[in-house]
Structure 1
Amino acid sequence: MNKSSCTRVSFDFTHTFLAPVYILVFVVGLLANGWGLKYLLHNCKKLKIINVFVFNLGLADVLYLLTLPPLMGSKLIFGEVFCKITRFCFNLNLYGSIGFLTCISVYRYLAIVHPMRVMGRITVLHSVGISVLVWLLTCSSAKRLETSLGCYDTTSKIYVEDYLKYSLGWTLTGFCIPFLIALGCYGHVIVVLCRTNTTDKVLKQRSLRLLFILILLYSICYISYHVLKNLNLWSRVLSKQRQCRKWFDAVYIAHQISRGLVCLNSALNPLVYLHGEENIPAQLRQLLLRARGTFRRLFLSISNSVPVAQTADEEIISLH
């Protein structure tokens, strides 16, 4: 079907869908990451190699979460400069999270599968150096993306063909390769643990949970975003060539939904904290119990302050 132009879904859908997602991610993500970072800083004297990666993962999340409140409205009121900062922080968080998750996966693989080669050779200083390298690479990439995007979610119509090629290349290097590395590491870990009868059952369960979290994060947040982003770019290329397809609108809507889902990584990444230290699950349960008690007391106080409803006779009298 060839037309001079293709009708697209109203852009109001983007604001209608994303605003509630941003609110949820901001509240949950800030509380979870704030608690996780506080715990790591409180126990910095017994800092472990993996906690360096976890700390940087949480830091990348917080930097992005702080840019969300102005986006919760229907319009961006802070101008193009803030918009570019937001795009930069988004890409920094996205690929920084993928980078640090990959570092965590590789370290756990080495510690479990090759413990004799790793013990004593990899230090906290090494993990700090690797973290700095990840930051430098992601900052450089995020800056290039922000420069090419400007204040667009992808790019302007003029450069859409070139940006599709660039997006596919960055999807391969910034997403697919790290994903395959992380998946391969955890897959090998599970195989080794299942073949070794002497391995602690707790270690097996923890590794299986980490593999599940990894697959969850990549499936919900990262895979859908990259696939639909490139499909949406392709639909724009075809539309520019005056080719319209029935699936254009569906891809556009799905891409906007994936933009909300990819933001969820800032709220889901703290799940990694549950496996950085053995004491964290117990402390998290205590925190949840305290929160439940606080909400219960608040609900009771509000209920007691509400005046008693009128009886049926009093309501009839008042109506007359």
Structure 2
Amino acid sequence: MLWCEHALDSRFLPPVYILVFIIGLVANGWGLKTLLQNWKKLGNVNVFVFNLGLTDVLYLLTLPYLVVYHFMKSTWIFGDTFCKITRFCFNLNLYSSIGFLTCISVYRYLAIVHPMKVMGRLSVTHSVVISVMVWLLVSVQSLPDMFFTKTYGNKPGKCYETTSTFYVEDYLKYSLGWTLTGFCIPLLITLGCYGHVIVTLYRKENIDKVLKRKCLRLLFILVVLFSVCYIPYHVLKNLNLWSRVLQKRRTCCRWFNGVYIAHQISRGLVSLNSALNPLVYLHGSEDVPAQLRQQLEEAGQMLRRLYFSSFGRVTVSQSNEDI
């Protein structure tokens, strides 16, 4: 078990975190810039998308410290307070992302299923107030996590994602309640909204095709995020906590190692949400994919020019040497 823990922590998680850090910063930076350029076209939903990007950047800035931690074989050298802040930022990112994605889903549902009732009534002010409420609710849910033991004081050692074995039973109860309020309820709301949206899209023939395409695109993004990032993490996190409770009670089961390995993989996958969330920017405007293609084409042309200019110099120099 101990060898498996060090192998996964030092070999699997750091490369994933480095990849997420690079892709996430580039994608969120480009996405936020594009969002500000298309602010009026996106409507009231842009407030939620903007906050989604902020949560990602907040979490991404903590990843270099986690990379150092795992490269040092789970030895935290940055102190107890910063360990708690790092874990708090992760939780804030995770549950704020779920919250803002749920808000986007509800707004999309209202715009399609009840357009006459909400048209002109939902303003940017409403979106700002709802965003503040999401931040406050997630902060209140995440705050108790900071009161659980995370390190061995300020001595170098573990920086627990959850808590030490001594408090694991209490943490499991807290985690189950947190999973229900922070994940299960938003998931059910999102499924209900998009289930009704899909029915409405196929029943009404007068709905704009572009709007249909946007909704189906966003639905696909949400399915990917929940299936790859959120569902496995929550299921395996609580299973791993339960296995730790059983171990504390001197109960041994064959599935402990398998759950632990799967949970570590799910930790890497859930961090991908900060790299995948910018896909939400793509669904918001038809101009964004075109801008991305244009920028990629311009980058490709620039690389080709650099290559041919360098190749041309090499060819000329070789010809001069032959003479």
TM-score normalised according to structure 1 size: 0.88
Task: Pick one of 265, 268, 282 that aligns with 1:260.
Answer: 268
Match of 1:251 in 2: 259
How far has the Cα of 1:194 moved from its partner? 0.4
Q: Distance in 2 between matches of 1:299 and 1:221?
A: 39
Q: Give 1:1-320 correspondences, 5 Å limit.
A: 9-44=4-39, 48-73=43-68, 74-75=71-72, 76-148=76-148, 150=150, 151-297=159-305
- Any idea what SS the aligned residue of 1:121 has? coil
How far has the Cα of 1:44 moved from its partner? 4.4
On the 8 A contact 2:53/2:278 being kept in 1, the answer is yes
- In 2 relative to 1, CA 161–109 (structure 1 residues): closer, same or farther, beyond 3 Å? same
- In 2 relative to 1, CA 306–239 (structure 1 residues): closer, same or farther, beyond 3 Å? farther
On the 8 A contact 2:39/2:46 being kept in 1, the answer is no
- In 2 relative to 1, CA 199–255 (structure 1 residues): closer, same or farther, beyond 3 Å? same
10-19 or 142-151: which moved more? 142-151
274-283 or 72-81: which moved more? 72-81
Q: Distance in 2 between matches of 1:160 and 1:8?
A: 22
35-44 or 11-20: which moved more? 35-44
On the 8 A contact 1:25/1:267 being kept in 2, the answer is yes
Kindly provide the amino acid, as one letter, of the partner of residue 19 in structure 1: P
Percent of matched pairs sharing the same residue: 69
On the 8 A contact 1:54/1:276 being kept in 2, the answer is no
**Cα RMSD, aligned residues only:** 2.1
Kindly provide the amino acid, as one letter, of the partner of residue 288 in structure 1: L
- In 2 relative to 1, CA 164–60 (structure 1 residues): closer, same or farther, beyond 3 Å? same
How far has the Cα of 1:14 moved from its partner? 1.3
On the 8 A contact 1:61/1:266 being kept in 2, the answer is yes
Kindly provide the amino acid, as one letter, of the partner of residue 135 in structure 2: W
Kindly provide the amino acid, as one letter, of the partner of residue 266 in structure 1: S
Q: Distance in 1 between matches of 2:64 and 2:291?
A: 29
140-149 or 82-91: which moved more? 140-149
Q: Distance in 2 between matches of 1:21 and 1:306?
A: 38
How far has the Cα of 1:11 moved from its partner? 2.6
For each residue in 1:134-162, what CA deviation from the matched residue of structure 2 results, as whole angstroms up to 9, or x when unmatched? 11111222222222253411111111111
TM-score normalised according to structure 2 size: 0.87
Match of 1:315 in 2: none
Q: Distance in 2 between matches of 1:83 and 1:302?
A: 48
- In 2 relative to 1, CA 305–87 (structure 1 residues): closer, same or farther, beyond 3 Å? farther
On the 8 A contact 2:229/2:271 being kept in 1, the answer is yes
Kindly provide the amino acid, as one letter, of the partner of residue 182 in structure 1: T
Structure 1 unmatched runs, 5+: 1-5, 308-320
How far has the Cα of 1:306 moved from its partner? 8.6
Q: Distance in 1 between matches of 2:26 and 2:6?
A: 31
- In 2 relative to 1, CA 7–72 (structure 1 residues): closer, same or farther, beyond 3 Å? closer
For each residue in 1:177-215, what CA deviation from the matched residue of structure 2 results, as whole angstroms up to 9, or x when unmatched? 001101111111011000112222222222112111111
- In 2 relative to 1, CA 15–8 (structure 1 residues): closer, same or farther, beyond 3 Å? closer
Number of residues paired by the alignment?
Answer: 302
